[in-house]
Amino acid sequence: MRTIELNVQGMSCGSCVKHINAALAALAALAGVDAVEVDLPAGRVRVTGNAEAALLIATLDDAGYPAQAASPAAAAAAKPAGCGSSCNCH
Ligand SMILES: [Cu+2]
């Protein structure tokens, strides 16, 4: 088991968080996702389990949220906007 941190774009309100949780929950039995923690202000998702990072990223992309493996530089650049034109849940 491991923890994978992802930076997720376009996630800016509680509805986005629900979409992301639902998308990743669908992988739980299939690929081994034990826990999903969404940090909305940071634009970050932490996934604990055995799923491959590439699969998590593909799943989030499919759900409409471009994701990438977290790195310190990317985290500094991530600035969540208010729910609006930059929000992917509408
Ligand atoms: Cu939203």
State in Å: Cα 37 to ligand 1 middle.
16
State in Å: Cα 87 to ligand 1 middle.
5
Please write the tens of the pLDDT for every residue from 59-73. Answer: 999 999 999 998 655
Residue 35, classed as helix, strand or coil, is strand
Does the domain at residues 2-77 carry the CATH identifier 3.30.70.100? yes
- E strand or H helix that includes residue 73: helix 72-77
Task: Give the number of other Cβ atoms within 10 Å of residue 53's Cβ.
Answer: 16
Helices (H), 4-66: 14-25, 53-63
Tell me the C-alpha distance between 33 and 35, whole Å: 6
State in Å: Cα 18 to ligand 1 middle.
9
Confidence (pLDDT) at 90:
66
Mean pLDDT per 10-residue section of the chain, whose length is 90 residues? 93 95 91 94 94 95 94 51 69
Q: pTM (2 decimals)? A: 0.78
DSSP state of 27: T
Confidence (pLDDT) at 29:
82
State in Å: Cα 39 to ligand 1 middle.
13
Confidence (pLDDT) at 75:
44
